[in-house]
């Protein structure tokens, strides 16, 4: 996979180099989301798809990148260590540059709510981008955790990007039996068994689980196509809930508006919009 700088107003574009041409080009937008079971998958009208995009998209969003082309030679983004940290590190090492254009943002104007069973999410107006996530698991290794923050800039790099995905041992074994998560291991996920973390070294943060849910939400909301100015509150979120909430928001055309800004709010940091990573 290679990340390349892109021209103004390109947005985020995936290119399947093993397919090529327009058939392999996938523009990141709400309509491109094809699957939210276990991970977020995007696809185009030709059937070309890329799965497990959420960690990479969280890094792109958290690092303030707006225009970028992602070349990938297969249908899945590399798992790395199960977090957005390696992607954020590579973007930081390559550097980002400002482009001569104002930034477009989506400003929330009124509340929008979604309920899926015992899970719920809400967008509300706010002066900056903020995520407020609560998770609840019966397993004592996780329990109930909450994180509320504006996850951008250095705060994203230090407090969110390194948080790894997680799962229970019996779930991983069942997925592998079904031909899924074949590369899943303790090297790219936090694995829990009988109330204990199996990974050597334990957790990176005491609340790493909920921090990763913030990371996932950032990646899932990035398919909006522009940074969001507003608060996203989610109880027991997952990719399905995040996508349903974003869809409900964008469908409610009186609940938001596109604004063009040259001096973004502090939560959007600088107008850093292009990057190349080899």
Q: Which sequence positions are flagged as catalytic?
A: 239
Angstrom distance (rounded) from CA 1 to CA 19: 14
Among 96, 156, 27, 155, CA closest to 277:
96
> Which positions ≥6 away from 16 have C-beta within 8 Å?
23, 24, 25, 26, 48, 50, 72, 73, 74, 75
Task: Identify the H or E element spanning 191.
Answer: strand 190-193
Residue 118's Cα: distance from chain center in Å?
22
For the beta sheet containing 196-197, the strands, ordered from the edge strand earlier in sequence to the opposite edge, are: 166-168, 190-193, 196-197
Residue 254's Cα: distance from chain center in Å?
25
Angstrom distance (rounded) from CA 44 to CA 33: 9
> Which positions ≥6 away from 202 have C-beta within 8 Å?
none
């Amino acid at each position: 996979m290679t990340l390349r700088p892109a021209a103004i107003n390109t947005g985020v574009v995936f290119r399947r180099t093993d397919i090529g041409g327009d058939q392999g080009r996938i523009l990141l937008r709400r309509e491109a989301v094809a699957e939210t079971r276990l991970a977020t998958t995007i696809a185009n009208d030709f059937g070309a798809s890329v799965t497990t995009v959420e960690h990479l998209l969280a890094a792109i969003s958290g690092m303030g990148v707006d225009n970028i082309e992602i070349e990938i030679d297969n249908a899945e983004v590399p798992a790395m260590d199960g977090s957005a940290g390696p992607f954020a590190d590579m973007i930081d090492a390559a550097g980002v540059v400002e482009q001569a254009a104002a930034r477009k943002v989506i400003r929330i104007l009124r509340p929008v709510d979604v309920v899926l069973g015992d899970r719920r999410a809400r967008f509300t107006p706010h002066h900056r981008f903020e995520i407020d996530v609560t998770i609840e698991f019966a397993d004592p290794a996780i329990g109930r955790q909450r994180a509320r923050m504006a996850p951008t800039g250095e705060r994203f790099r230090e407090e969110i990007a390194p948080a790894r995905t997680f799962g229970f041992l019996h779930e991983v074994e069942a997925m592998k039996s079904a031909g899924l998560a074949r590369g899943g291991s303790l090297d790219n996920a936090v694995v829990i068994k009988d109330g204990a973390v199996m990974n050597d070294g334990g957790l990176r943060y005491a609340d790493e689980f909920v921090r990763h849910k913030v990371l996932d939400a950032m990646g899932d909301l990035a398919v909006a196509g522009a940074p969001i100015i507003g608060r996203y509150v989610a109880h027991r979120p997952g990719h399905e809930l995040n996508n349903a909430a974003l869809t409900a928001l964008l469908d409610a055309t009186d609940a938001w508006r596109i604004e063009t800004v040259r001096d973004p709010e502090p939560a959007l940091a600088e107008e850093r919009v292009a990057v190349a990573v080899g």
